[in-house]
Structure 1
Amino acid sequence: MICGHYSIYDETGGKIIVNSSTLQEINKNPRKYSVRQSSGGHNALGAIVFRFQNSHGVYLHDTPQKQYFNRENRALSHGCIRVQNPKLLATQLLAFDDSNEKIAVLEEAVKAYCKRDFILKQPVPIIITYLTVLIKNGKPIIYDDIYQLDKSLVEMLHHDMRTATTP
C-alpha cells in the first residue's frame, strides 16, 4: 500500500490508518471503503484524468506507460481508455469551452502533479466505438475480440437473417 502510494478511505471520506485491527474491520464490510492512489509520477492513471458520465465507470486517462502506444496490441488497460497526448486533449477541450484562461492553470497542475478539477461549461459528446474488423486500403484488418462481443453480434445477425427470409 505504501510503496504504491495508496490510501484507504471510509464512506465519509476519512482516511484510515492501516493496522491489523482496521484491516479486520475493512474485511468485514469492504464496500464501506475505497482505495485511492495519490497523484504523482507513480500514479497508474498518469497526470490527467478525463471523467465523463457513463454507466460503465469508464474514463479517459494519461498513462506513465507511454511505451504502450508503440505496441501493435494495445488492449492493455482494465477497461478505461489511455490517451496518448492528454495535455493536448485537455488544452483543446478548454479552448473549445472558451476557457483559455484555465490552460496555464492546467499546465502548472500537470507540472506539480497537483489535483485540479476543470468542469466544462458546455457538454462535449464522447462516442466510443468498439471494432474488431476495420477496412484499411480495401483490405480487412481483424483485431482480437477482447470483450468477447462478436459471438453475440453474429448470433443476432443470423437470427435477423433467418427472420427476414422466413415467409
Structure 2
Amino acid sequence: MIQVGDKLPATTLMEFVEVEGGGCSLGPNPVNVAQATAGKTIALFAVPGAFTPTCSAQHVPGFVAQYEAFKAAGVDEIWCVAVNDVFVMGAWGRDQKVDGKVRMLADGSAEFAQATGLTLDLTARGLGLRSNRYSMLVKDGVVATLNVEGPGKFEVSDAATLLAQAQTA
C-alpha cells in the first residue's frame, strides 16, 4: 500500500471536459498523474463509486463546500478519483455541481487503485474491484498525508480532516 513519502503511481486517469479551453478538448481527456501533479499541491480523495450514498451526500459536497479554504491553504487542485468510466464521472460532477472546484477523475480499469494498493473488492455485492475510501495531500507528486478509511467507514477521509492537514503542512 502506498505510504506517506511515496510518489504517486505513474498512471493515467481520465477526465470528461465539457467546455473546451486551457489546452483541453471537449470530451474525455487523459490526465497523466505525474505531469498533472508536478509542482502542485493536490487534495486527492477517492471513493468506491460515483452516485453512491455516502459519496454523494457527504464526501463530494464537503470538498466542494471547502474549495476556497483549500485554496487559501495552498492547495492548487482538488481531485476526486473513482473506479468508474469517464462519462459517469462527468455526469456525477454535473449532478454534484462541482463547477470546476473538484476535478472528477475516472480510474475506469482500477489501474490507479491497484497501483496504490488501495483497492476494495466489492465483487460479492456485484460491484467488482473498486477504490477504497481515502484522502491524501499530494505535494509535487509525493504523498504528504494519507487517511485511509476502515471498511464501511467515513471518519478520516472527509474534507475537514484533509483541510486541517493542508493548513498545517
Question: TM-score, length-normalised on structure 1?
Answer: 0.25
Structure (1/2) with the larger strand percentage: 2
Higher relative contact order (CA 8 A, sep 6+): 2
Question: TM-score, length-normalised on structure 2?
Answer: 0.25
